């Protein structure tokens, strides 16, 4: 406490005014993010039993990111994806994607959102494509649903062709889904999801039904879409290979984001590149932090911990009053 305006616990009016202005001028949470989830809650009630699938989840995703979401089964990953896809509505909290408020949209806005703002790739390959249409027709369909006959059939066919070529599927444009392998179907599904040039591409375990080599190819297709079209991509995955290839992996635990791994490329003096990964814990807006279980168990920390503010870090000690 070295400020001159503060003496023995009293704060001058001037100081209070300065703080209020500071708070008012601070940018709002997630103001520059493409996806902003703020204390999202989703409660399902079945036969009187409540399941809190999301329990105040915070997540920010910047435009142009390619990131992975991981977490144990039942942690809330699909619940979050369905909300971001506009298929489900949260119980409480706030969620904005590309300027669209996911809690306030009416039916018409929601339909437009699903057709134009987000693209979706599901785990079940069969769920992504219509079986009686060829790959090219599947890709053209969302464009037709968006603006009917406007814009010309030929133009749509050309865009479908370009997208399939970008994903190395040009040679298979005239095949129907049953004539394609699982990995090829998923690559067509990515083209379908990109047809209307969405701001965000969401994928819920898109490589879950594939072997690792095929999964790798499908992931490469997502990467290409991200690099060439600049589409922001969020992929839910159990696949360690996928999770370790993106710059940012966010872990969800019990309906909240719990930790995050960031990776960056470092070049040493001989010019050799290596990927350096670092794990971070999430600090929520109320200041809550989840300590990793292996850390707390190693030091037998339970119930209470002692905190100390140091120059550039905060120390956490086991409670020495216990026992």
Ligand X SMILES: Nc1ncnc2c1ncn2[C@@H]1O[C@H](COP(=O)(O)OP(=O)(O)OP(=O)(O)O)[C@@H](O)[C@H]1O
Positions touching ligand X (CB under 6 A) are 44, 46, 51, 53, 71, 73-79
**Residue with smaller CB distance to ligand X, 57 or 233:** 57
Minimum distance of ligand X from residue 69's CB (angstroms):
9
Cα–Cα distance measured from residue 66 to residue 48, given in angstroms and rounded to the nearest whole number: 39
Compare residues 138 and 237 and give the one whose CB is closer to ligand X: 237
131 CB neighbour count, 10 Å cutoff: 9
Give 31's contacts (C-beta < 8 A, 6+ positions apart). Answer: none
Q: Which is nearer to Mg ion, 70 or 194 (CB)?
A: 70
Radius of gyration for the alpha carbons in the chain, expressed in angstroms and rounded: 24
Q: Which of Mg ion, ligand X, none has residue 299 at its interface (CB below 5 to 8 Å by kind)?
A: none
Under the criterion CB under 5 A, does residue 78 sit at the interface with Mg ion?
Answer: yes
Q: Is 75 in the site for Mg ion (CB under 5 A)?
A: no
Q: How many residues bind Mg ion (CB under 5 A)?
A: 1
Nearer Cβ to ligand X (123/185): 123
Alpha carbons 94 and 102: distance in angstroms, whole number: 8
CA–CA dist 236, 78 (Å, integer):
8
Binds 280, which of ligand X, Mg ion, none (CB < 5 to 8 A, cut-off by type)? none
Contact between 134 and Mg ion by CB under 5 A: the answer reads: no
Helices (H), 33-106: 77-84
Nearer to Mg ion, 78 or 257 (CB): 78
Closest alpha carbon to 59 in 258, 277, 278, 289? 258
Q: Which stretch binds Mg ion (CB under 5 A): 56-64, 73-81, 155-163, 262-270?
A: 73-81
Within 10 angstroms of residue 53's Cβ, the number of other Cβ atoms is 25
Q: Tell me which residues touch Mg ion (CB under 5 A).
A: 78
């Amino acid at each position: 406490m070295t400020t001159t305006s503060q003496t023995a616990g009293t704060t001058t009016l001037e100081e209070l005014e300065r703080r209020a202005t500071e708070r008012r001028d601070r940018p709002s949470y997630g103001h520059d993010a493409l996806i902003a989830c703020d204390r999202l809650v989703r409660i399902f009630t079945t036969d009187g039993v409540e399941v809190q699938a999301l329990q105040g989840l915070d997540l920010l995703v910047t435009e142009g990111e390619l990131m992975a979401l991981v977490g144990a089964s039942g942690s809330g990953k699909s619940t979050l994806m369905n909300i971001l896809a506009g298929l489900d509505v949260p119980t409480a909290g706030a969620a904005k994607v590309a300027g669209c408020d996911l809690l306030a949209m009416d039916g018409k806005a929601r339909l437009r959102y699903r057709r134009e703002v987000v693209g979706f790739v599901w785990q079940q390959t069969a769920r992504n494509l219509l079986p009686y249409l060829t790959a090219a027709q599947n890709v053209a369909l969302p464009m037709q649903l968006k603006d009917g006959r406007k814009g010309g059939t030929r133009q749509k066919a050309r865009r479908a062709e370009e997208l399939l070529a970008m994903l190395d599927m040009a040679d298979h444009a005239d095949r129907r889904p049953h004539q394609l392998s699982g990995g090829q179907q998923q690559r067509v599904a990515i083209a379908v999801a990109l047809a209307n040039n969405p701001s965000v591409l969401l994928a819920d375990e898109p490589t879950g039904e594939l072997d690792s080599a095929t999964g790798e190819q499908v992931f490469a297709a997502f990467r290409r879409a991200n690099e060439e079209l600049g589409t922001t991509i969020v992929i839910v995955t159990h696949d360690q290979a996928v999770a370790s290839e993106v710059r940012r992996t966010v872990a969800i635990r019990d309906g909240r984001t719990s930790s995050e791994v960031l990776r960056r490329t470092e070049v040493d003096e001989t010019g050799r590149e290596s990927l350096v990964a670092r794990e971070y814990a999430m600090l929520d807006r109320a200041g809550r932090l989840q300590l990793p279980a292996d850390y707390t168990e190693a030091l037998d920390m339970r119930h209470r911990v002692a905190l100390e503010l140091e120059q550039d870090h905060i120390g956490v000690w086991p409670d020495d009053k216990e026992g």
